[in-house]
Amino acid sequence: MLVASVDSRLMTIGELFSSSNHYIVPHFQRDFSWTDTQTEELWNDITNTLDESRPDRFMGAIVVNNSQKPTLKLIDGQQRITTISLLMCALRDIAKEKEDEELSFEISSAYLGTKNLRTRKIDPKLTLNEVNNQFYTENFLDPQNLQQLKNLKKQLGRNLKRDREKSNKLMLESYLILHKKIQERISKAESLTDTLVELVECIANKLILILISVADEASSYMIFETLNNRELELSGADLLKNHIFAKSDEGFDKVQKKWSYVQQNVDKYEITKFIRHYWIAKHNRVREKDLFREISSKIRDSNGVLDFMTSLADTSELYSALKNPNSPVWSTSGANTKNDISRLILFDSTQCYPVLISAKEYLSDKLFSKILRILVVFSFRYSVICGLNPRYLENAYGDVAKFIRKEKPKSAEQVFEKLQFIYPSDKDFKDAFQKKDFQW
């Protein structure tokens, strides 16, 4: 596929934000994920540029889809842009704390957004995805009390069960780190105002990036993949998502909807694991580090992408059900099946999922339930009690998934025979059981 109407040019951060453009992170893009390390690296880039009197510092490339100007979709670079926006929020808030209302207003209007005279609310220059945007808008877009934000961090720390709490806590921590760094730099300077202005000017005028604008949506993801295929920061799922978007051509909307459906069914922090289990069940064993390379080499055109995403979306329903004994998937199953699903969840046994995916697709429901019972017993003996090497078990499960896919066995005994060579003996099981210190 040819990349259509690509425009690229160097620009400063100040130029990026000073335009009338509105940058938006698509809802299917990654949530905010920068940790303390990346935030501090950004801060060090800025302060080193100042302290070493460097004329500029290159910050990498930003990829946007500009088919709906002046709204630009951020395809790559949202982590950097979001963190720089948080830094600008911290600079604005400190200026306000120090009663420099004029500087605080200038920072806000130039880099964060302008006040709508009708609604009296800020029209932001940056809109994040559905997980992060409300948190960003409520806690950073308007000046906030520092102590309230610290209290909010404690609240989030007590409730990190959902994805949005994890991601939004990272965003809050990034802001607090930057706020502290600014305060430390001010404490060593002669002039508070000069230090704040110096930082703002450095960010605006000395941080340089390449803005790559693409009118065709699928082409923008192809560029993203090219820029990020070194797999330094992105997971296999991140890279794969952008590969399939790039290859989807006229089926882009369908592929995007199916990806969103996968995200509804699978925890965002487990999508790479899910895709790996899917691939082992449907194709062959693959290590996580080779997942992107393996799949991208096989799926190379729009028809292959749509077929893959249709199958992946369908399988995501089962994957979700394997983590929920009350799922509608089990509505016609008996109590034994639901209880065995609960036991696998209790044992935290996910390595057997490729076997269950294969069994559910290629075998009868009755045979699936029997194989499920075998895996429950096997997981209890091998992993829970004997604590044997999980790598051997994973390899064996991959071979069993292939056996089911290729041979379509007629009995559960045939499946058990494929696992028997690593099945703990009664003696080993009894010895390991006696050594366990159970807390009743």
Identify the segments of the chain with pLDDT beneath 70.
Answer: 1-5, 28, 157-164, 216-236, 437-440
C-alpha–C-alpha distance, residues 78 and 84, integer Å = 10
The pLDDT value recorded for residue 435 is 82
Alpha helix stretches (DSSP H) within 132-270: 133-136, 146-157, 163-187, 192-206, 217-228, 236-247, 252-265
Helices 163-187 and 78-97: angle between axes, nearest 10 degrees: 50
pLDDT per residue over 122-133, tens digit each?
789 999 998 899
| CA distances to 102, 113, 128 from 121, in Å | 18, 10, 17
The pLDDT value recorded for residue 349 is 92
- Give the DSSP H or E segment for 138: none
**364: exposed, middle or buried (C-beta count within 10 Å: 0-12, 13-18, 19+)?**
exposed
| CA distances to 25, 30, 93, 347 from 131, in Å | 11, 9, 24, 30
The pLDDT value recorded for residue 228 is 60
**335: exposed, middle or buried (C-beta count within 10 Å: 0-12, 13-18, 19+)?**
exposed
The long-range contacts involving 47-54, CB below 8 angstroms and separated by at least 24 positions, are 47/181, 47/185, 49/202, 49/206, 49/207, 50/198, 50/199, 50/202, 54/206
Token output for 169: 């806590």
Token output for 415: 């499946």
Q: Which residues pair with 6 in a beta bridge?
A: 214
**Ramachandran angles phi, psi of 413, nearest 5°:** -60, -35
Token output for 212: 């790559």
Ramachandran category for residue 123: left, alpha or beta (phi over 0 → left; psi -120 to 50 → alpha): beta
**20: exposed, middle or buried (C-beta count within 10 Å: 0-12, 13-18, 19+)?**
exposed
DSSP state of 32: P
**Ramachandran angles phi, psi of 349, nearest 5°:** -100, 95
Token output for 224: 């993203």
What is residue 6's three-state secondary structure?
A: strand
The pLDDT value recorded for residue 321 is 96
The pLDDT value recorded for residue 1 is 42
The pLDDT value recorded for residue 268 is 76
CA-atom Rg of the chain in angstroms: 26
C-alpha–C-alpha distance, residues 203 and 201, integer Å = 5
CB-based contact 348:390 (threshold 8 Å): no
The pLDDT value recorded for residue 102 is 93
C-alpha–C-alpha distance, residues 138 and 381, integer Å = 50
Q: What is the pTM of this model?
A: 0.61
| CA dihedral (234, 235, 237, 243) positive or negative | positive
